[in-house]
A and B are shown apart, each in its own frame.
Chain A
Amino acid sequence: MPNRVLDQETHRAGGAVVPPVGLGPTVVRERGQHEVFCGLTSIVWLHRKMQDAFFLVVGSRTCAHLVQSAAGVMIFAEPRFGTAILDDRDLAGLADAHDELDRVVDELLSRRPDIRVLFLVGSCPSEVIKLDLGRAAERLSSRHGPDQRVVHFSGSGIETTFTQGEDACLAAMVSQQVDRLSKADPQPGQGVQPAELVLVGSLADVVEDQFRLMLTDLGLTRIRCLPGRRGAERLVVNEQTRFVCMAPYLAETAQRLESLGCRRIPARFPFGLQGTTDWFLAVGQAFGYASDRVLHVIKPAQRRAQLALTAMRPMLEGKRVFFFPDSQLEIPLARFLAEEMGMKVVEVGVPYLHQAMMAEELKPLSADWRVVEGQHLEQQLARCRAARPDLVVCGLGLANPLEAEGMSTKWSIELVFTPIQGFDQAGDLAELFTRGFARKARLARRIPIRVAA
């Protein structure tokens, strides 16, 4: 990789950036307090996508409290996530904990016979006490199978940051829900055709359908999504199967698919007009379609995106943006804001930077970008205050305090919950960043109040 990485871990502090040389931005690594979510939070959107799945966290009251706080009001519909809260007795002896887990899962599955996949989600406490949830999942799968499968992944804060929970979940699904057909295998049964293209990453249904339709127009027919709308659905792949990641945080999933012989299509992530265009061109090229043909298919959608973005651009152009680390979407989103909306990027914090996954995004970036991997909260806040950017993209724990200091913020979790991929969402994506400015402008507007002389 052409990108230089400065590892400053040894002295915790961020500090000096070495003058950039070569291509791409310089990446600084920072250690200190991380103001980020753990991977458990991804349950909040994953359970909406896979409607036959239940997510059972094995953890502490803190885990339950986190998921409840992150899920907000969603918890009150018949929830498809919960926590098996460890107590003193579980900590005393591990054999006992496995019996306890079996009892809780029995109770849960008998109450919810509609559940087809139960995800046992590891947490910090369960990992520190080394509760073997992988083994528990196997045991419970054979006990409740074949109708109800049990799959394990970790969403702990010590292992995963926010969206990495989705990566861990999908990677576990690749191991357990994906079948590989090779040439040597006997002719598969009817209807079991290996996917030609797999879209990897949880997408809003409306976005998924848009991509499917355009790809179908291009001539691709056997398209599957991971995750599908049913978690119990099995996905069949072979050596010809290509996959493309819809978000940058799916490195582990990508690696497992590659180990099954599938090949990843390197592409920029489909944010904005340019990102989505490049994405379609990359996918088209991987399947041997001429770029003319791809451009013909996407042209109407491109035009619509252009219209919407042109309207938004004046509100963002020339403004300076600062990203705190959160989801790993920061780099492609900053790229979109810089390239298509004319914003100036002050600093891009990322919780984690996977160079290979991000290669297509990093290549065209200017060398003077400051990319910071990891976090030292106080120092990053100090840099942010000193830079006084026009817009700060940050988490909910920082947003109001920074607003109170007179900065404009965009809270980042919304970028994960809102459909933002593709042409017809490009305007919505830009709008997420303009909304705060529009609101400030409205609140600043003063209609004179007439008073008696």
Chain B
Amino acid sequence: MKLTLWTYEGPPHIGAMRVASAMKDVHLVLHAPQGDTYADLLFTMIERNDHRPPVTYTTFGARDLGKDTAALFQDAIREAVEVHQPKALMVAASCTAELIQDDPAGLSSALNLPIRVIPLELPAYQRKENWGASETFYQMVRHCLIGIDPQAKRTDQSGPTCNILGFMGLGFRHRDDLKAIEELIRAIGIGINVVAPWQAGPDDLQRLPLADFNIMLNPELSESTALYLKRQCGQPFTQSIPIGEQATDAFVREVALLAGLDPDQAVLRARQAQPCRAAWYAASVDATYLTGKRVFIFGDASHAVAAARVATQEMGFDVVGLGTYSREQAKLVREMAAELHLEPLITDDYLEVERAIAATSPELVLGTQMERHIAKRMGIACAVISAPVHVQDFPARYAPHMGYEGANQLFDAWVAPLMMGLEEHLLKMFKEDFEFHPQAVASHLGVQPVAPEVGQMAGGSSSSASDGELEAALAWSPEAQKELGRIPFFVRSKAKRNTERYAQAHGVSMIQRDTLYEAKAFYAQHR
């Protein structure tokens, strides 16, 4: 038993959902209790999808436990197939269903469905989300290749082709990373055979063996599939992760070599297609002040390692801490930490991460949604480099982190939270000046006194000085002030303004508790 206040990863069935939601013509039936449908909203709200994830839940309740949950599971499968007409069906148990020991594989095969059924084993009490995603992707590919000649090659000779593996639902920047990588691959002159699981159907998976090699872009999610395809179809796969300029160069070379093309030519063409400005920006004198900035890095293994390389070699930062929550890929982080003479932090406990950040006192934190909040609390600049992320990191704009365009975006994203060099210089030089003390607001906005908290104002005092002409006439009764203090802070000032405007218009000199609500009703009517 482990006390957990926040988790970096969900349970493994969320990983299965991520694969299902990425694919076409696939449906997942989850044997799960009522309530587990909460996971749908990760896809509809955080990823902002305009459709429900292709998942049916049995949603059993206590009264079903005394009866036949196995029959319930079979009914759900039958209905899902009838309603959604998928070409392949995945079946799995969530953590509670794992305990009641209905067998998804046996129960689904007993139904003799006319479509491919892929049973998933997701050990919910040992494994987590990324493992679940990786396993689901692997099982999906393995099952779809049954009956397919793994050595089958294309008959046309139009040039080398590859598969792109590992982009899926709820992935950090997956949508745009895929676009950036596709652009590079095409620029080099390589064809793309299948992208999977993103937007792939079971039929597409059957065409996987036709490619010459595979591009594996996130070992957490797709290494097991890449290894399987190497064994089964003899396809080599790329190992470098194209995050940052140098890593993208290395990636383009690796891809070119696998395709039998000239690596130098490939880099030239790729850079032409996707111009890289990050290196010049980092070299320009404006960036000099970035030298030796202390940075703490935490995230999934591949993003953390890539960020460490970019931070040291391309930004000139000092990496003072490096860690990951991905135990499965911790080796990558250990190796990089050794290069940087650091003790790697391998943990899924955010309190440990918080302690490590406090101990290293960095000037910039690169991490997940959680590190964003830790950094905010500590007043440290922060940029997000890895899942888990919140809704703002599924942006509307094109925002890849991979490829040369990704390198450009990383430069902007990491420098933006830091103070501009000149600004920092001025603040140090003039830090004793009244305009530059730490609490001062930006001077071009004009001097504005910090508004006192309403709840702390003395009883019966007049309203704050910034309201000018209202000041003399209006007073708040202690009850009214107390009531105002209860109004959520983000609408409080509006409520205060409206109430005073109302009081003035209606000749009320002492604002009472009721005045507040009279004004609210008044403005509700006259909005």
Task: Identify the A interface with B (CB < 8 A).
Answer: 12, 32-41, 56, 58, 60-62, 64-66, 68-70, 72-73, 75-76, 79, 81-88, 90-91, 97, 100-101, 103-104, 107-108, 124-125, 127-129, 156-159, 161, 205-206, 209, 213, 300-301, 303-305, 307-308, 310-312, 378, 395-401, 403-404, 424, 427, 431
Contact = CB atoms under 8 A, between A and B. Distances in A.
A395 B41 contact: yes
B100 interface: yes
Nearest to A56: B3
14 contacts: A58-B1, A62-B11, A66-B35, A66-B38, A82-B5, A84-B2, A91-B125, A101-B1, A124-B35, A124-B95, A128-B99, A303-B521, A307-B522, A378-B83
Contacts of B483: 206, 209
Nearest to B527: A311
A150 to B, nearest CB: 15
B153 interface: no
A124 B6 contact: no
A61 B11 CA distance: 6
Given A84-B2, A156-B62, 12 more contacts: A38-B38, A60-B11, A61-B124, A65-B10, A66-B38, A79-B5, A82-B5, A124-B35, A127-B62, A307-B525, A401-B50, A424-B520
A308 B417 CA distance: 44
A190 to B, nearest CB: 28
A185 B99 CA distance: 49
Nearest to A213: B513
Contacts of A37: 35, 38
B31 to A, nearest CB: 12
A308 B521 CA distance: 5
A83 B35 contact: no
B49 interface: yes
A340 to B, nearest CB: 14
A83 B6 CA distance: 9
B7 A61 contact: yes
A86 B40 CA distance: 23
A60 B125 contact: yes
Contacts of A72: 390
Interface stretch (B52-60, B143-151, B450-458): B52-60
Given A34-B37, A36-B37, A311 B524 contact: yes
A61 B3 contact: no
A39 B35 CA distance: 8
B486 interface: yes
B126 interface: yes
A215 B226 CA distance: 69
A206 B37 CA distance: 33
B489 interface: no
Nearest to B487: A206
Contact of A157 (B33, B49, B487): B33
B237 to A, nearest CB: 30
B524 A398 contact: no
A223 to B, nearest CB: 18
B44 A399 contact: yes
B96 A124 contact: yes
Contacts, number: 213
A84 B3 contact: yes
A298 to B, nearest CB: 13
Contacts of B526: 311
Interface string B1-40: 1111111011101100000000000000000011111111
B1 A85 contact: yes
Contacts of A311: 524-527
Contacts of B40: 35, 396-398
Given A86-B1, A395-B41, A400 B7 contact: no
Nearest to B374: A76
B203 interface: no
A62 B36 contact: yes
Contacts of B37: 33-36, 397
Give the most central of A83, A91, A206, A400: most B CB within 10 Å: A400
Interface in B495-524: 513-514, 517-518, 520-522, 524
B52 A157 contact: no
A423 to B, nearest CB: 8
A33 B525 contact: no
Given A83-B4, A90-B1, A161-B34, A397 B41 contact: yes
B193 interface: no
Interface in B82-140: 83, 94-96, 99-100, 124-126, 128
A101 B1 CA distance: 7
Contact of A427 (B14, B75, B373, B520): B520
B473 interface: no
Contacts of A85: 1-2, 4
Contacts of A107: 3
B61 A158 contact: yes
Contact of B35 (A40, A86, A91): A40
Contacts of A301: 517
A87 B2 contact: yes
B522 A396 contact: no
Contacts of B99: 91, 125, 128-129
A158 B62 contact: yes
A84 B62 CA distance: 22
Contacts of B125: 60, 86-88, 91
B36 A157 contact: yes
Contacts of A158: 33-34, 60-62, 64-65, 96
A33 B38 contact: no
B268 interface: no
Give the most central of A84, A300, A305, A396: most B CB within 10 Å: A396
A422 to B, nearest CB: 10
Contact of B486 (A101, A159, A205): A205
A90 B1 CA distance: 7
Nearest to B40: A397
Nearest to B56: A33
B1 A103 contact: yes
B45 interface: yes
A62 B124 contact: yes
B287 interface: no
B11 A396 contact: no
Contact of B49 (A58, A401, A431): A401
Nearest to A154: B62
Give the most central of B1, B36, B487, B518: most A CB within 10 Å: B1
